[in-house]
Amino acid sequence: MMPMRHGLMLIAPLALVLAGFFLIPVLMLLPTSFGEYLPGSGVVKGVWTLENYTRIITDEYYREVVWRTLGLGLFVTLVCLVLGYPLAYLIARGPERWRLPLILLVIFPMMLNLVVRSFGWIALLANRGLVNNLLIQTGLISAPIKLMFNLTGLMIGMTHIYLPFMVLMLVAAIRNVPRDVEAAAATLGSSRLHVFTSVTLPLSAPGILAGSILVFVLTISALVTPRMLGGPTYKVMATLIYDEYMQLLDWPSGSALSFALTAMAIGIIWLSSRLTKQWAGMA
Amino acid sequence: MSTDGETHPGLGVTIAAFAVIVFLQVPVVVVILAAFSTTSYLTIPPQGLTLSWFGKVLSDPTYLSAIRMSLILAFGSTAISLALGVAAAYALFRRSVPGSEAIISFLMAPLVLPAVVIGVALLQFFSLTGLRGSLVGLLLAHVVITVPYIVRSALASLSGLDLAVEEAARVLGATGFEAFRLVTLPLIRPGLVAGALFAFITSLDNVPVTIFLIGANQTTLPVLIFSSVEMGVDPSVAAVSTLLIVATGIVLLLAERRAGFHRFV
C-alpha cells in the first residue's frame, strides 16, 4: 500500500492546476452573471440582478436561440443514430477483415481538425460551392439554393462532425450483445428483422442511450461548426456567448448564458445516468 | 454454422453502411481537391491544377508563426498533461487517497463543461490576473482541456494491471519510482500513447478556449483558419487544411501500427 502522503504529493500538482485554471475561473464567472451591464461603460459596480437569467426565458430572441440549440441537438442525435447504426452493425457483425479498415475510416475524420472539416462543408454548401455548382450544371436548379447560414447547413455539418462518436459507441454496444442469444432466437424461427428488433436492439439500448447523450451534449456545446456554417447571424447558444463576449462585450449576459448552457449539458447527463441506473435495476 | 449466418448483416445494411463511410470522407476529399484547384471555388471537373497555394502558405509568415504556436502548445501541453495526469492516475490506482471517485470526477470535469464556457471563464480570469496573451497561461489552459484524456487512458491501462508485478520488483530491491518506471510504465505504454495522441489532437484542434485567450499578435493554426474563413473562402486555407489532413492520416496510421490505436478509441 502506498502511504497517503505520497499519494497526495502525486495528485496535488494536477489538482492545483485544475483548481487555479478551471474551478476558480468558472466560480469567478458566477458573480459576473448577476451583474448589470451598461453599454459603453461595462459592468456596474455593486448592483446585483437576476435579469441576465430571466432574459434567456422572457426575451423572444434568446428563447428562439435556446430552442434552436436544443432542436439542433435532438435532430443531429436522431440522424446520427439512424446513419450510425447500420455502419456500427457492419463493423461489429460483418466480416472480420473489413473491421479494421472501416474503424480507421470512422476514426480518421474524427481525428481531423474541426476547422478543416467545417471548411470542407463550406466548400460543399456555399452558394458557389460544389453542391450548388453540380445542381446548376446538371440543370436541376437555375439559381443556387441556400444551404449555409441556416438550419440546413448546421444540421448537415454537425451530423457529419459527431457521427463518428455515435458509431464508435454503437459498435461497443452491439459487440456486447451475446451472439448466441441472437443465434438462439434465429434457431427458434425468428426472422432476421425480428431477431434484430427483439434481441439486438433492446440489448444494445444502454449503448444507444450513451451515444445519444454524448452526441446531444457535444452538439449543443459546439461553437466552431455553428459559427463557420451559420455565419455571424444564424446563432446557437455557444455562438451567442461568443458574440456577447467578443462583439458586445456584455460579459454579464454572456456568463449567464454560459451557466444556462452548462446546466443543460449537466442536466442531460444526470438524467441519463438516472435512467441507466433504473434500467440496471429492472434487469 | 447456418444459424450463425442469420445474424450477419444483410446486403441492405452493408450498402447503407458504405454510403455512410463515403459521407464521412466527402468533405476531406473536397478540401484536398480545392487545394490543388486554380479557381477559388471548386468546380467539377476542376478548372486546372496548381501547387501555388501550398507555396503561398509555406512562405506566409502569418501561417508559419501560427503553425509554430500550435505545435508549441500541443507538444507542451501534452508533455505537462502526461506528467501530471499519469502521476495523479497512479496515486488513484494505488488507492492511496480517500474519495478517489470524487477526485476522478473533478479531474474529468473539463470534458463535461462546454469548451466555450471554459474559454470565457479563463478570459475573465486572465484579464484580472494579466495572463492574457502569455504563453504560460495558454499552456495551462490547454493542460486543463487535454489532461482528462491522459487521466482516463492511464486509469484504464492501470486497471488491467496486476500489482503483484510491481511488488515483485520492490522485493528484488527496486525503489518505488524504479519499480514504476521499469515495470509499470512499459506495461501501460500503449494506452498512454493513445491518450497522449488524443491530448495532442485536442490541443491542436482547439478554438473555443484558445480564441478568448490569445494576445493581439498571437494566433494558432485552427484559430487562423477559423477567422480567415469569416473573411471569405481562400484556397490557401484548403492548402493548409490538406497539410493537416496528410499529417493526421500519417499519425493515425503510425499510432495504429505501433500501439493498435483503434482499441483505445
> Rounded CA gap, B236 and A39, in Å?
38
Instruction: Flag if B34 and A123 touch (Cβ within 8 Å).
Output: yes
Q: Residues of B with CB below 8 A from A269's CB?
A: 112
Answer yes or no: are the C-beta atoms of A92 and A171 closer than 8 Å.
yes
> Rounded CA gap, A83 and A167, in Å?
9
Distance from the Cα of A108 to chain B's closest Cα (Å) equals: 7
Instruction: Flag if B17 and A90 touch (Cβ within 8 Å).
Output: yes
Q: What is the pLDDT of residues B135-146, one digit of tens each?
A: 999 999 999 999
> Rounded CA gap, A46 and B220, in Å?
38
pLDDT of the residue at B225: 93
- pLDDT tens-place values along chain A, 283 residues long: 678 888 899 999 999 999 999 999 999 999 999 998 888 777 887 788 898 999 999 999 999 999 999 999 999 999 999 999 999 999 998 998 999 999 999 999 999 999 999 999 998 998 888 888 889 888 888 888 999 889 999 999 999 999 999 999 999 999 988 888 888 888 888 887 888 888 888 888 888 999 999 999 999 999 999 999 998 889 999 999 999 999 888 899 999 999 999 999 999 999 988 888 887 776 5
Q: Where are the domains of chain A?
A: 54-278
Chain B interface mutation, best of A112, A192, A242, highest count of B Cβ atoms under 10 Å: A112
- The separation between the first and the last C-alpha atoms of chain A, rounded to the nearest angstrom, is 37
Instruction: Flag if A120 and B21 touch (Cβ within 8 Å).
Output: no
Find how far residue B189's CA is from the centre of its chain. 17
Please give the grid coordinates belonging to residue B132.
492574457
Q: For B98, how many CA atoms within 13 A lie in the half-sphere containing its CB?
A: 0
Query: Is the pLDDT at B4 greater than 60, yes or no?
Result: no
Single-letter code of the amino acid located at A122: I
Answer yes or no: are the C-beta atoms of A228 and A208 closer than 8 Å.
no
Instruction: Flag if A11 and B141 touch (Cβ within 8 Å).
Output: no
Query: Is the pLDDT at B1 greater than 50, yes or no?
Result: no
Instruction: Flag if A89 and B3 touch (Cβ within 8 Å).
Output: no
Q: Where are the domains of chain B?
A: 2-36, 60-264
pLDDT of the residue at B98: 86
The full length of chain A comes to 283
Chain A interface mutation, best of B11, B18, B20, highest count of A Cβ atoms under 10 Å: B20
pLDDT of the residue at B260: 82
Query: Is the pLDDT at B52 greater than 60, yes or no?
Result: yes
pLDDT of the residue at B92: 93
Instruction: Flag if A113 and B230 touch (Cβ within 8 Å).
Output: no
A277/B205: higher pLDDT: B205
What sign does the CA torsion over A181, A184, A190, A193 have? positive
pLDDT band at residue B6 using 50, 70 and 90 as cut-offs? very low
Single-letter code of the amino acid located at A251: W
Answer yes or no: are the C-beta atoms of A235 and B116 closer than 8 Å.
no
Answer yes or no: are the C-beta atoms of A35 and A252 closer than 8 Å.
yes
The full length of chain B comes to 265
Contacts of B9 (CB under 8 A, 6+ apart): A86, A89, A90, A93, A94, B17
Distance from the Cα of B201 to chain A's closest Cα (Å) equals: 7
Query: Is the pLDDT at B233 greater than 50, yes or no?
Result: yes
Average confidence (pLDDT) over B195-222: 93
Q: Indicate yes or no: pTM above 0.80.
A: yes
Chain B interface mutation, best of A24, A65, A111, highest count of B Cβ atoms under 10 Å: A111
Alpha-carbon radius of gyration of chain B: 23
Superfamily, domain A54-278: MetI-like (1.10.3720.10)
Average confidence (pLDDT) over B52-67: 92
Answer yes or no: are the C-beta atoms of B117 and A26 closer than 8 Å.
yes
The two beta strands, A36-38 and A42-44, are antiparallel
Contacts of A184 (CB under 8 A, 6+ apart): none
Q: What is the pLDDT of residues B83-102, one digit of tens each?
A: 999 999 999 998 878 888 99
Among B103, B109, B106, B71, residue whose Cα is nearest residue B203: B71
Q: What is the CATH number of domain B60-264?
A: 1.10.3720.10
Dmax (CA) for chain A in angstroms is 76
pLDDT of the residue at B45: 63
Instruction: Name the burial class of residue B106, with classes exposed (0-12), middle (13-18) and buried (19+) by CB atoms within 10 angstroms of its CB.
Output: middle
Distance from the Cα of B44 to chain A's closest Cα (Å) equals: 7
